[in-house]
Amino acid sequence: MISVASIQSTESKHSSSIPNYRKIVRQALPESYFKTDYTPLLWIPFHFAIICLGLWLLKSHFQPLLALPIALVIGHSFGCLGFIAHDIAHGGTIKSIPLRDLLSGIAFSPFAIGPMLWRKWHNGEHHTHTQVQGVDPDHLFTLEHYERSPILQFLYRLHPLLRNLVIFGSFTYRMSQQMMRMFFAYMFARNITVMERLTIFFQLALPVAFWAGGTLALGSQVFWWGYFFPLLVGNTLVIAYIATNHFLNPLADERDVLATSLSVTLPKWLGWLDSLHSHFGAHVAHHLFPQASPRFGRQIDAKIKELFPDRYHEMPLTRALKLLWDTPWVYDGKTALKDPQSGKSSGTLGHGLEH
């Protein structure tokens, strides 16, 4: 941990005007990176084939010793489908909005995330206002949240080890929890039409009926090991990326993609998973060019690093998770994270927290 004074001393070097990252980087990249790319769609039947095989094994050849490995494999495919849906919904793969909604809805269906909800929540709010306090719905808690949240206050009265176990344990449901929070936020929003409310509702209800109802119809063992536990695995996989992509970055007064996003890399022995995960770890590239093909995310990241080495943030996923374990999860101002009980503070990326 470092002192708040040392955090503040680093802020002056970031006070200069923000470069036009997109224009500069775009001019340095091949045009092929930004053309419509249908290749990621090929992963959809691949993952559904894996899921169907797992469900068939659980239904016709159930063995307790194999149930957990099957649940892990199905859950991994749930997460991978979520990454694919995320990219489809940004419009880089498919230009037709109805077809985009259909395919992203199918790929997002295990999480019951509807295309309309995702566009409003993720594309509209998170990407447009990344890490902007009170506007980005996905940023971490602030001291203001802490002061009015009995749950957060209770959490930070726990021993740090127990608190971290609770926080990291929440990865198993955090994506679904955030989805439900945003579902109710939009269902009761004043600027939402009746038709939009109905669409958001049915785009949630139909996937739940399909996955929960369908697996229950195949048997309770199929529901638990083929949907419920895999959903926990899928949540964990997705949130492990999402948390590391932003939760170590500062909050923003203005939109600075390189300041508010972190790219993460997998260990070499797991590098083969990068393409299965749609290169989701190349998150700085994604926030800079959300409609670019995910296949070129790492190449785009490399160019950003070359052009802006003092502003670009990247680290191994394991290192980022360790830092999340070691740092508090409450913002004190925009550039520091603070434990409200002990008073210990940590910097954020670019403001004292080292890669």
Alpha carbon distance 34, 296 (integer Å)? 9
Looking at residue 3, its pLDDT comes to 44
Q: What is the pLDDT along the chain (355 residues), one digit of tens a residue?
A: 444 444 344 444 444 588 999 999 999 999 999 988 899 899 999 999 999 999 999 999 999 999 999 999 999 999 999 999 999 999 877 888 999 999 999 999 999 999 999 999 999 999 999 999 989 999 999 999 999 999 999 999 999 999 999 999 999 999 999 999 999 999 999 999 999 999 999 999 999 999 999 999 999 999 999 999 999 999 999 999 999 999 999 999 767 889 999 999 999 999 999 999 999 999 999 999 999 999 999 999 999 999 999 999 999 999 999 999 999 999 999 999 999 999 999 999 999 997 6
Q: Print burial letters for 167-188: b (CB count within 10 Å at least 16), e (below 16).
A: bbeebbebbbebbeebbeebee
Q: Provide the residue ranges of all domains of the chain, joining segments of one domain with +.
A: 21-323
Looking at residue 93, its pLDDT comes to 77
- DSSP E strand boundaries for the chain: 141-142, 263-265, 314-316, 330-332, 336-338, 345-349, 352-353
> Is the pTM for the entire model greater than 0.75?
yes
Cα angle value 106/300/47 (rounded, 5°): 25
Looking at residue 16, its pLDDT comes to 55
Tokens standing for 335?
């550039």
Closest CA to 206 of 123, 122, 108, 74: 108
β-bridge pairing 330-332 and 352-353: unpaired
Alpha carbon distance 312, 261 (integer Å)? 9
Looking at residue 287, its pLDDT comes to 96
Using the structure block, give the residue that is written with the tokens 């890490």: 131
Alpha carbon distance 163, 154 (integer Å)? 10
pLDDT digits (tens, 9 = 90+) for 154-191: 999 999 999 999 999 999 999 999 999 999 999 999 99
